[in-house]
């Protein structure tokens, strides 16, 4: 990347990072009504959102589109492998659409309802959403999916559909797993010098995914240690293959927590439920990303920004949706940030 | 020479709901209405009567497209374009296609499954190759006991490493005995007690087991024979399914043809789903029509509609100008150039349509830069070969070739030879300075015309201040003319006095003042913006004019290239000489011809269009069948 492009990216990243909402501050938004929330968000981020529009212009889509527009500006100076890596990383948003679509079709939900939940990804979209929506049954949808960039998950999707019916958590995990494996492969294809800090953030993300799903597979789905381990994704920062194999053999959540490496154990001490652990791990990931955002390596900073922005978008979408549906503040708080 | 998009009028049509479909079909047949959504009457007209119709139309269209994706036969067009399609007809056909698609989709799914089985069987046959040479008793591999489980099969290579570790948790061991394309051929051994867990795990890892039936206790060739038989059965089954599929598709062709007819006739009304609004049996729609079609529309609607209707026509208001679609009408000769203009953008309704001006100047510049009777003739005649496949390209190439011939006579050039024809004027090489000077004059003329067009466009849309004071307005034009005048005085008489200075300074001051007023920022930022904009104005005037030097440069380059070819040919014997001349001329025609064509386009787009043409217009897209 030329020095001009680096300066451009660095300036842009600094500006955009200043507009990220601090996660401690986000909790202050719960007591406000919708109009006040949007005003506050506008004040903090500089983006103006409208509550009136529906469908493609809904508030969820507006939030996502603003994020994509910013990503588009940030991705501009990159080329080659780095560009491909970031394009793939941003595809994380598309996985939400993929899950909504598969869930909707598996459960025979009406197209109009599925459509309401889809996010318009603009230029980042890979999925032919309209064509997928127009499929008549699950088999047809899976055949069409086979022709997309997500063909890799179709076999598992079929298996889940045939064996587990509507229990689609396994499929969610399969989608996430193949995404992380591919993302890590793309990361490894980057120049070594550039990847130290990204690897750090990525490692935390993978640890989060692996630990959470290990607990779910073992103690919610009661899967065997072997299958639980197999369904995890690539090794992360702290939880390497050997750790995960050992943890998979444990018989309770407490046992798993007690066998964790010390640094992770400290963060999760005293937690009992998987939900609590999920929240703690998310905050831990965001903390690492926030730290990396202030460092010098541009690739790491951009990657950290994507993680933080994704979390912010997801948080605001859930908060606003909860408010629109008239849910109780405490319920929204619990759903959005867990028990902190 | 100058044209503007066809004059438009806004049509507001109020009619009975019962007539809406008939009106849509009539207007679609005429391809005369560009429908637009009306956002003003939402409260008074809350209903969208065509929406349910559109939903069924869309559903039917989707199914039809999916089924016809497997059909190779061509559908015929309907003969009667006046038939109305009812919602019930659409629904009935939609239901029919739903069941037909279910049949087609079912066959497709079976085909997919069989192809997958074939792939799996082929992998297993590959596995057996390894056992072949061993002449192993397969019953030994089947010898799973109460305590021991043995399995042979394939697993995708990407899954192998993770599977190996996962299996170790279940006290199973896995070993690869052959690696194929993306697949590992493996044998596994482990405790029988764990086999349920392992079975689940293997399914997730996409393990395909090589099942060894009881009766195959002998060598692997027997099992391979069995697998080959399975493969043959699958191939037969696939053939049968393909046959079934084509028979099914043939049998439903009449239904598909009927669907196609219905879809064609239903499309106009369905297309109005978001445009047509109504309440209590009355519907309203808006759109743009060419002003000269007012009477014919009224007459047609009077003939076709069963109930009275109200049609109101308005000229576009200034605030609407940006949203009025642009309909460009050109004769066949200008159509190809219209496509080149559209590549840059569609002219805004109020803008000058530069197609004709573009056509003439493009062809003229091509001739100036590539003037040669022989080369022009080859381009003109050679391009006729492509007439059937690329008619648009052929028209442009023939005209460019003719222009080249014309300028070839002017320069006295025939296939690079300068002494065969007597030039009507002179060869550019005889006085290159004069040729360069003329190119500059041509460039100045071109830019002045562009500036005048920009002023005209500003005035039409009511941007009076911009027309007078901006860099692309009258002030900019005066500055440019003053720069030309000052340059001339300096070159011709060596003087740059008060008059020259004032003529430059005054329009520049006006432009700066205008920019100052237009910029909303702090003092220093404003000053910086104005300074940069002013510099940009000066630089673009100079660089824009100098850019036209390429017109002269390429005419000189053409002769220089020919001279180079002749020099090389002179070094050869008779045969080599003529081969070099022929190949050299082909090289000049293909390479230089292409470069000149691109350079002309570049001059048009960047020195011309970017000065007066926004290209942000909307194409006229009429309702059609």
pTM above 0.80, yes or no: no
For chain A, give the secondary structure using H, E and C.
CCHHHHHHHHHHHHHHHHCCCCHHHHHHHHHCCHHHHHHHHHHHHCCCCCCCCCHHHCHHHHHHHHHHHHHHHHHCCCCHHHHHHHHHHHCHHHHHHHHHHHHHHHCCCCHHHHHHHCCCCHHHCCCCHHHHHCCCCHHHHHHHHCCCCCHHHHHHHHHHHHHHCCCCHHHHHHHHHHHHHHHHHHHHCCCHHHHHHHHHHHHHHHHHHHHHHHHHHHHHCCCCHHHHHHCCCCCCCCCCHHHHHHHHCCCCHHHHHHCCCHHHHHHHCCCCCHHHHHHHHHHHHHHHHHHHHCCCCHHHHHHHHHHHHHHHHHHHHHHHHHHHCCCCHHHHHHHHHCCC
Residues of chain A contacting residue B109, judged by C-beta atoms under 8 Å apart = 139-140, 143
Task: Pick the more confident residue, A108 or B369.
Answer: B369
Contact state of B169 with A155 under an 8 Å Cβ cutoff:
no
pLDDT beyond 60 at B215: no
Residues of chain B contacting residue A231, judged by C-beta atoms under 8 Å apart = 204
> Which of A226, A243, A245 is best to mutate for the B interface (most B CBs within 10 A)?
A226
Contact state of A226 with B203 under an 8 Å Cβ cutoff:
no
> Which of A52, A227, A231, A234 is best to mutate for the B interface (most B CBs within 10 A)?
A227
Question: What is the end-to-end Cα distance of chain A in Å, rounded?
Answer: 41
Among A167, A178, A156, A173, residue whose Cα is nearest residue A214: A173
Residue of B nearest to A133 (CA): B62
Residue of B nearest to A155 (CA): B206
Residues for chain A: how many in total?
A: 340
Q: What is the pLDDT of residue B58?
A: 93
At B259, list the tokens: 């669907």
Give B 99-138 residues with CB within 8 A of chain A: 101-102, 105, 108-109, 112
Distance from CA of A226 to the nearest CA of B (A): 5
Residues of chain A contacting residue B108, judged by C-beta atoms under 8 Å apart = 140, 143
Contact state of A227 with B197 under an 8 Å Cβ cutoff:
yes
Residue of A nearest to B116 (CA): A155
Percentage, residues of chain B above pLDDT 70: 95
Among B410, B444, B421, residue whose Cα is nearest residue B549: B444
> Which of A230, A234, A247, A249 is best to mutate for the B interface (most B CBs within 10 A)?
A230
pLDDT beyond 50 at B463: yes
For chain A, list residues with pLDDT below 50: 339-340
Residues of chain A contacting residue B206, judged by C-beta atoms under 8 Å apart = 155
Distance from CA of A239 to the nearest CA of B (A): 15
Query: Hey, how many other C-beta atoms are within 10 angstroms of the C-beta on B303?
Result: 8
Residue among B105, B168, B205 whose CB faces A136 most closely: B105
> Which of B60, B108, B116, B166 is best to mutate for the A interface (most A CBs within 10 A)?
B166
Distance from CA of A227 to the nearest CA of B (A): 5
**Considering chain B, what is the average pLDDT of its residues?**
88
pLDDT in tens, B475-501: 999 999 999 999 999 988 888 888 889
Residue B441 touches partner A, C-beta closer than 8 Å: no
pLDDT beyond 70 at B137: no
**Dihedral sign computed on CA atoms, order A279, A284, A288, A291:** positive
Residues of chain A contacting residue B197, judged by C-beta atoms under 8 Å apart = 224, 226-227
Lowest-confidence region among A19-28, A141-150, B91-100, B434-443:
A19-28
Contact state of B163 with A136 under an 8 Å Cβ cutoff:
no
Q: What is the pLDDT of residue A339?
A: 43
pLDDT confidence tier of residue B596, bands split at 50, 70 and 90: very high
Residues of chain A contacting residue B166, judged by C-beta atoms under 8 Å apart = 226-227, 229-230
Of the CATH numbers 2.60.40, 1.10.1760, 3.40.50, 1.10.132, which one belongs to the domain with range A1-57+68-76+296-340? 1.10.132
Q: What is the pLDDT of residue B216?
A: 56
Q: What is the pLDDT of residue B583?
A: 94
Instruction: Measure Cα distances from B95 to B64, B84, B102, B477, B558 in Å.
Output: 11, 19, 11, 66, 68
- Helix orientation angle between A34-45 and A298-324, rounded to the nearest 10 degrees: 170
Q: What is the pLDDT of residue A340?
A: 42
Distance from CA of A224 to the nearest CA of B (A): 6
Residue of B nearest to A152 (CA): B158
CA distance B351 to B453: 9
Distance from CA of B206 to the nearest CA of A (A): 8
Q: Do residues B102 and B72 make contact, with C-beta atoms less than 8 angstroms apart?
A: no
CA distance B83 to B85: 6
Pairing of strands B618-619, B325-326: parallel
Query: Hey, how many other C-beta atoms are within 10 angstroms of the C-beta on B322?
Result: 15
Reported ipTM: 0.82
Q: What is the mean pLDDT of residues B323-341?
A: 91
Residue among B66, B112, B169 whose CB faces A249 most closely: B169
Q: B290 phi and psi, to 5 degrees?
A: -60, 135
Q: Which CATH architecture has domain A78-190?
A: Up-down Bundle (1.20)
- Per-domain residue ranges of chain A: 1-57+68-76+296-340, 78-190, 199-280
- Taking one residue from A and the other from B, the number of pairs with CB-CB distance under 8 angstroms is 61
Q: What is the pLDDT of residue B1?
A: 60
Residues for chain B: how many in total?
A: 625
Residue B201 touches partner A, C-beta closer than 8 Å: yes
Exposed, middle or buried by CB within 10 Å (0-12, 13-18, 19+), for A217?
buried
* Those residues with Cβ within 8 angstroms of residue B243's Cβ, 6 or more apart along the chain or in another chain: none
Contact state of A140 with B201 under an 8 Å Cβ cutoff:
no
Distance from CA of B166 to the nearest CA of A (A): 5
pLDDT in tens, B285-299: 999 999 999 999 999
């Amino acid at each position: 990347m030329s020095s001009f492009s680096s300066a451009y990216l660095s300036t842009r990243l600094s500006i955009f990072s200043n507009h990220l909402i601090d996660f401690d501050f986000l909790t202050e938004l719960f007591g406000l009504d919708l109009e006040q929330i949007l005003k506050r968000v506008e004040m903090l981020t500089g983006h103006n959102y409208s509550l009136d529009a529906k469908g493609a212009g809904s508030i969820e889509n507006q939030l996502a589109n603003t994020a994509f527009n910013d990503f588009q500006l940030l991705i501009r100076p990159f080329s080659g492998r780095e560009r491909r890596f970031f394009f793939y990383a941003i595809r994380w948003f598309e996985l939400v659409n993929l899950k909504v679509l598969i869930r909707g079709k598996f459960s025979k939900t009406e197209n109009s309802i599925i459509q309401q939940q889809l996010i318009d990804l603009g230029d980042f979209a890979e999925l032919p959403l309209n064509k997928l929506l127009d499929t008549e049954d699950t088999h047809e949808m899976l055949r069409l999916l086979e022709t997309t960039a997500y063909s890799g998950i179709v076999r598992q999707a079929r298996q889940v559909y045939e064996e587990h019916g509507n229990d689609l958590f396994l499929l969610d995990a399969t989608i996430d797993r193949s995404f992380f494996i591919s993302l890590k492969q793309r990361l490894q294809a980057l120049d070594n010098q550039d990847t130290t800090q990204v690897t750090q953030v990525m490692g935390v993300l993978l640890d989060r995914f692996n630990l959470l799903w290990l607990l779910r597979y073992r103690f919610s789905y009661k899967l065997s240690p072997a299958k639980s381990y197999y369904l995890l994704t690539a090794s992360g920062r702290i939880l390497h293959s050997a750790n995960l194999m050992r943890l998979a053999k444990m018989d309770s959540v407490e046992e798993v927590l007690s066998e964790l490496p010390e640094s992770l154990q400290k963060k999760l001490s005293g937690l009992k439920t998987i939900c609590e652990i999920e929240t703690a791990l998310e905050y831990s990931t965001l903390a690492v990303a926030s730290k990396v955002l202030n460092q010098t390596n541009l690739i790491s900073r951009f990657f950290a920004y994507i993680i933080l922005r994704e979390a912010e978008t997801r948080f605001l979408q859930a908060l606003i949706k909860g408010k629109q549906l008239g849910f109780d503040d405490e319920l929204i708080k619990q759903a959005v940030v867990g028990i902190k | 020479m100058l044209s503007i998009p066809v004059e438009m009028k806004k049509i507001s049509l109020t009619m009975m709901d019962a007539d809406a479909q008939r009106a849509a079909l009539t207007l679609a047949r005429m391809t005369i209405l560009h429908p637009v959504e009306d956002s003003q009457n939402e409260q008074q007209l809350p209903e969208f009567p065509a929406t349910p119709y559109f939903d069924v139309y869309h559903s039917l269209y989707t199914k039809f497209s999916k089924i016809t994706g497997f059909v190779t036969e061509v559908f015929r067009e309907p003969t009667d374009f006046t038939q109305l399609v009812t919602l019930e007809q659409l629904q009935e056909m939609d239901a029919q296609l739903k069941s037909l698609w279910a049949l087609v989709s079912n066959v497709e799914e079976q085909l997919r499954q069989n192809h997958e089985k074939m792939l799996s069987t082929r992998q297993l046959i590959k596995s057996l190759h390894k056992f072949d040479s061993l002449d192993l008793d397969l019953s030994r591999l089947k010898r799973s006991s109460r305590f021991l489980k043995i399995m042979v099969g394939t697993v995708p290579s990407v899954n192998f490493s993770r599977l190996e570790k996962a299996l170790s948790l279940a006290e199973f061991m896995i070993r690869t005995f052959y690696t194929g394309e993306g697949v590992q051929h493996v044998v596994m051994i482990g405790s029988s007690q764990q086999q349920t867990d392992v079975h689940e795990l293997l399914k997730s890892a996409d393990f395909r087991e090589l099942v060894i039936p009881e009766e195959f206790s002998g060598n692997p060739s027997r099992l391979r024979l069995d697998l080959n038989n399975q493969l043959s059965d699958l191939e037969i089954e696939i053939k049968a399914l393909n046959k079934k599929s084509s028979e099914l598709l043939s049998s439903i062709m009449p239904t598909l043809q009927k669907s196609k007819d219905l879809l064609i006739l239903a499309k106009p009304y369905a297309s109005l789903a978001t445009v047509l609004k109504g309440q209590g049996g009355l519907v309203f729609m808006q759109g743009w029509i060419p002003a000269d079609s007012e009477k014919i529309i009224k007459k047609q609607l009077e003939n076709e509609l069963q109930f009275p209707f109200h049609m109101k026509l308005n000229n576009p208001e200034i605030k609407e100008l940006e949203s009025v679609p642009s309909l460009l009408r050109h004769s066949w000769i200008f159509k190809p150039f219209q496509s080149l203009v559209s590549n840059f953008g569609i002219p805004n309704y109020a803008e000058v349509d530069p197609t004709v001006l573009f056509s003439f100047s493009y062809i003229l510049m091509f001739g100036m830069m590539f003037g040669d009777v022989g080369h022009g003739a080859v381009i003109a005649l050679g391009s006729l070969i492509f007439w059937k496949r690329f008619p648009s390209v052929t028209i442009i190439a023939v005209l460019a070739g003719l222009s080249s011939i014309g300028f070839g006579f002017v320069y006295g050039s025939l296939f690079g030879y300068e002494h065969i024809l007597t030039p009507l004027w002179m060869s550019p090489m005889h006085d290159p300075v004069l040729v360069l000077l003329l190119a500059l004059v041509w460039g100045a003329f071109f830019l002045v015309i562009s500036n005048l067009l920009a002023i005209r466009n500003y005035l039409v849309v009511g941007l009076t201040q911009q027309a007078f004071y901006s860099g692309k307005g009258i002030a900019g034009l005066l500055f440019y003319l003053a720069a030309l005048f000052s340059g001339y005085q300096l070159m011709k008489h060596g003087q740059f006095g008060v008059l020259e200075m004032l003529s430059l300074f005054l329009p520049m001051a006006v432009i700066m003042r205008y920019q100052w007023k237009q910029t909303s920022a702090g003092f220093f930022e404003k000053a910086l913006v104005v300074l940069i904009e002013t510099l940009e104005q000066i630089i673009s005037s100079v660089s824009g004019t100098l850019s036209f030097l390429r017109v002269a440069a390429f005419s000189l380059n053409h002769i220089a290239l020919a001279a180079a070819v002749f020099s090389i040919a002179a070094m050869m014997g008779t045969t080599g000489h003529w081969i070099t001349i022929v190949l050299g001329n082909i090289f000049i025609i293909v390479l230089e011809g292409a470069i000149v064509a691109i350079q002309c386009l570049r001059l048009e787009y960047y020195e011309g269009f970017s000065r007066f043409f926004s290209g942000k217009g909307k194409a006229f897209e009429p309702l059609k069948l």
